[in-house]
Structure 1
Amino acid sequence: MSSAFLYVRVSTDEQALRGYSLPFQEKKLQEYCSLYKIQVIDIIREDHSAKTFNRPAWNRLMRSLKERHAACPDLLLFTKWDRFSRNASEAFATIAMLKRMGVMTQAIDQPLDLSIPENKILLAVYIATSEVENERRSLNVKQGIHEAREQGRWTSHPPLGYTYTYTCLGEKCLSIKEYEASFIETAFILIAANPKRSIQSIYEQLLAEGMQCSRSNFWRILQNPAYCGKVYVPAFDDKPSHFVNGKHTGIVSELLFKQVQQTLRSKRGQSGISESTNQKLILRGFVSCPQCGKRLTGSRSKGRYAHYSYYHCYRCKSFRIRADKVNQQFQNQIGTIVAGEGYTNIFHRILNSFLQQQQQDVARTKVVLSNSIHKLIDRIVKANMLQSTNEITVEDFLLIKADCESHIKRLAMDFQESKRQEKLAKVALKSTLKKLTNPGYFWATADILNKRQFLYLLIDQEIILSEHFKMANSLIWQAQMVYGVACQEVFRDAQRFNWVNELDSINQEMISEIILCEQSKNRTIDAQKAQYILDFMANMVLLILRITWPFFRKE
């Protein structure tokens, strides 16, 4: 009895809808083996393109055959030759290699006896047809993208600050996403207005205010001409690369964009956003000299046995202190501050409110995605009926089908991501609450960038360093009251963040609860000060949520 490996492969939803799904191929091959009494040793399932043989499942198969980890079969069976390969030159080489191992390849729907030389011409036709189809589709896509860019249309994923919308004519276009765009505009203004300020400090400030962006992406944003209304058109055929005016509205003016580019060119090569902040100088930018009040910088010095980091003053040049001792003292002090029981309950209610809102948003998103997928499937079915009655051509049907299935694949991925977010939201409450009520726990588990975001929110004024400095004196007054470290007699103006959720449904209840918390400590505050405390707590919740749970976003 002959033995065989069954190879089933699918790379797109289009193939699945055509009847090329993995279960369909597997069933067909099993029936073939049962009919011809061929023993099935193993089934190799692949979800990868056939442009090359660099495919995960295929690579595992070849390694096992070469190392003799798997029993060598007589046959490698698949349904059609385009399931095996869409690259003629690689296909012939692979067939020859398998033949040397004693394995014969065969497509059950397109059987060929490769011992007959003339059949190799048919094999070349089968595979080359698929290869040409791939290359033609790729060329059409490239030409379409080039033409769209020439017309000023954005063809990639929308950059931060933009989202895709549709015009009344059904055309897809970029529209400004106000919440994110405000951070982009602020970044350009801050850099142009303060050329000497480091990009890193501006980036950290915006993160603390709620911007969601990696450091590398932030740098790309600052150099992206899309933000001043331009679209880059790469070189194509004999045409050189150039810029065109985009159909979208720019977030910043062209003049402001050019000013920022000039500033960035002058900073290139200097330490900035591309340089990670020294882990041992984490408080740099937050501490000041006790003698002259100048903000301290930091550096490393080589000792007898190791390098040591120091905070020191460039102005008076007389103050210098070991960074590790200051950092440890700061960590010890932040580890002692804990929210009171009343404020812990308020943190819990705020956190519940945000997570419930997130879960409701996810549930709505899932319904919208599911409905959209069903509509696209209905459109394919309708197009198929029109094609079967010759009301549209086969080519038109395939174009409609390809367009719908590309959208279905993207929507399906979004649907799976929504399900993952729903699960994560359910486990976020306990760990996030502990970090909110005990900042020392958060400090011990966060990385350096997240710690600095935390400091931008928590620290109101620079810490005057001394041998026995008090970190609590530099906290904003709302934090001092929530964590019970001091009682401010003078309430400075509270900083308000434009990304605070006002929590309208429970706002007044919690304001009253905050007033009662302070009365229990023999302190009297009015509703406005209680609102400022609530705002601070909401910002704390959002910051910890976004740092700990990347799925959490506020649109």
Structure 2
Amino acid sequence: MKRTQESEKLLHVAVYIRVSSDEQAERGDSIRDQKERGLNYIEEHHNMILHDIYLDDGVSGQKIDRDDFTRLMNHVKEGLVDLIIFTKLDRWFRSLRHYLNTQAILEKYHAAWTAIDQPYFDTSTPYGRAFVAQSMTFAELEAQNGGLRVADVFRTKVAHGEVITGKVPRGYQIQDKHLVLSEEAPAIYDALMYFLKHQSMNRAVDYLKETYGIIMTLQNFKQSLLRNDKITGRYRGNDSYCPRLISDEDFCEIQRILDHNINIKSSQKYPYIFTGLLVCAECGRKMGGCQINTASKRKDGTVIRYKYPAYECKQHRAYKTCDNGGQIREVRIEECLLKKLREQLGSYTADFETKGRKTVDNRIKKNQLRRKIRRLKDLYLNDALLLEEYKADRAELEAELESLPDIEPPSEYPAASIRMHNTDFESMYRHLDNQQKRLFWRAVIKEIRLSGRTGLHREYTVVFL
């Protein structure tokens, strides 16, 4: 009697659909086909009701980071889903490790799944789970072998300078399966040099449009040109993959500019001098610009209102997760830096001469970061981290990993810092506008770490380039 009652329990069912582009075209596992079979399956069982349909389009089964799969797992944890159905096991996973981790979560929250085209899979018994795990091993092997074959073909093509995609950066075109410079190349080169001079993507994109009639979005200009090492002739280990558009020195300088976030959104009314340079010493996040509004009353009764540019820790303001509260005026930062800069420059130069030039090997540190990313993913899969925490921590680790070269060559002698130390830069500085002041600070400073108040004072730690 108890068994009958359990079988008659109304089940909230999730239909999960996954396709990759090649499978949809070659094998007919279309979105419509999987959806219709899933809905028909629910219609045939009077104790089932559709909760929602989850679709991951163009995503490999070996990837765990799928948008709708993540949404589905969150609904499972909220107790909204009793049963997950899909057409075949390989729609669910092609990685044994991902399957086992996910299965543990499903069992914890009392959710089951069924492959409607493969009813012999049964996760309710030890033998059934063992059979599924064995099948996942072969599915994973098949997927990995297919990926290796494709990777080998691409590797051979790249080694011979052949294109493997139809998407090429502006200034290039495909000719006989190879990348060559197009008629736009001189214009693109000019725009890149314009960006190096003015250090503004907005101005460079406008210049490209007004001078040559070439229209690009900011994102496209950044990703397809400024961040694309193909413009140096390199691609996937082939140093002579295609003709070079700019020098290595110019490309490295572009990356430095981008990494220091010197570009301001076009909608920003006030050009904050220290945007991207100020870092909260308490939480390690960038500090953002804000305004301090004050007012004073004259003897005649009129009120004069003032607005002062300032900076604050956004983590403190928005979430109260940082103790570095309060706002600090931009003029106070300038005064402090100008007062300390000469002493800091002298100390920096002396320190450089004492320590000499050293080559830094970051490969061990990069491997440690990769292991941290893998451990972080395992923690999330085992329900030890929330999705928001996982994404935020992973993005931070990946950003640090991407910023580290394998080998850092010895630093160049700080000639610019020495010349500045020997000149009256304070007087020259006061005649600069805000854009020029931004360029001035970014020429010598990597970041400024700003601590919370100790009494009435804050501590500044300046890190030079």
Structure-2-length-normalised TM-score: 0.45
User: Greater Rg, structure 1 or structure 2?
Assistant: 1
Q: Which has the higher contact order (CA 8 A, sep 6+)?
A: 1
Task: Pick the structure with more helix per residue.
Answer: 1
Structure-1-length-normalised TM-score: 0.39
